[in-house]
Amino acid sequence: MSARVITITSGKGGVGKTTATANIGVALAALGHRVACIDADIGLRNLDVVMGLENRIVYDLVDVVEGRCKLRQAMIKDKRLPELYLIPAAQTRDKTAVSPTDMVRITDKLREDFDFILIDSPAGIERGFRNAVAPADEVVIITNPEVSAVRDADRIIGLIEAEEKGPAMLIINRVKPEMVRRGEMLTVDDVVDVLAIKLLGIVPEDEAVLTSSNRGTPAAMDEHSKAGQAFRNIGRRLTGEDVPFMSLDGGGSILQRFFRMIGGS
């Protein structure tokens, strides 16, 4: 059984790649899968902080690439979920310390021991992005319901299609239902309409995500967080389960609301 390598990327910065990587990792590990998260953002590492593993880093990805340690030594085991591991990025180097070939080599070594390998991509379309995408079997695009984020996501999808990396999947993060209802924010349909790729999840804006990121406890570990629930659903969808999209305003799924709109108006 060989792992699926899934790269999480966005083009634009600050849309929630790292948070999504940590939460999807937690969600998949909670379902009993063996998960390795790799932080490919060399020089600006964050995933360790969001996952709450910062204080346990001894070796990092660049140490592995440059042969200063064995791959196993750089893997940090999450104590809360037994099958969740992190390979942190180096904080002191830059993207050129790792090549796309290195990434393919490292993921190939991990494939036998895991079910999922999640790669947190840096923002942008340069070397760091190419490193993150090189080993990917599947690509998940994160965007926010904002024109600029959607524009960048579209560009990234074009690049991924050009690399023939298979159909990308979409997560729309930080959706604010009240703003959508008031017509002040792009709707999920608007975004899917432009990007025209498979929708993997809709994550509502949730202050708990911020506080949990700061604490190093991803929201997916919190039973009461709506965003956490959205990420747990994404984890289940990735494993092939058919999970309906959450309603963001309290009642029924989006699909049901849609029917009501047609029938009632």
Partner 1 sequence: MGEPIEIKGVRDGLLVVMPTECEWSEAVARLLKRIDSQPAFFKGAGVFLKVGGRVVHRTEIHALQKQLAFRGVTLKAVLSESRLTSGAAKMLGLDTELGEPLQREPEELEPIPSEEIGSPGVLVRHTLRSGRTVRHEGHVVVIGDVNPGAEIIAGGDVVVWGRLRGVVHAGANGDEGAIVCALELAPTQLRIAGYIAVSPQDGPREFRPEMASIKNGRIVAEPWG
Q: Which residues bind partner 1 (CB under 8 A)?
A: 99-101, 151-152, 154-155, 157-159, 161-164, 194, 196
Structure token pair of residue 262: 């047609």
Q: How far is the CB of 57 from partner 1 (least distance, A)?
A: 28
Cβ proximity to partner 1: between 35 and 195 the closer is 195
Show the beta-strand stretches assigned E in the chain.
4-9, 35-39, 76-77, 84-87, 116-120, 138-143, 169-175, 198-204
Cβ proximity to partner 1: between 103 and 110 the closer is 103
Nearest to 20 by CA among 51, 45, 42: 51
Distances (CA, A) of 53 to 50, 65, 115: 8, 21, 21
Cβ proximity to partner 1: between 188 and 230 the closer is 188
CB atoms within 10 A of CB 9: 30
Say which amino acid occupies 156: I
Place of tokens 């990234």: 156
Q: How far is the CB of 103 from partner 1 (least distance, A)?
A: 12
Q: How far is the CB of 38 from partner 1 (least distance, A)?
A: 20
Q: How far is the CB of 157 from partner 1 (least distance, A)?
A: 6
Q: How far is the CB of 100 from partner 1 (least distance, A)?
A: 7
Rg (CA), the chain: 18
How many Å apart are CA 255 and CA 263, to the nearest integer? 13
Cβ proximity to partner 1: between 158 and 244 the closer is 158
- The backbone torsions φ and ψ at residue 229, rounded to the nearest 5 degrees and listed phi first, read -60, -40
Cβ proximity to partner 1: between 76 and 172 the closer is 172
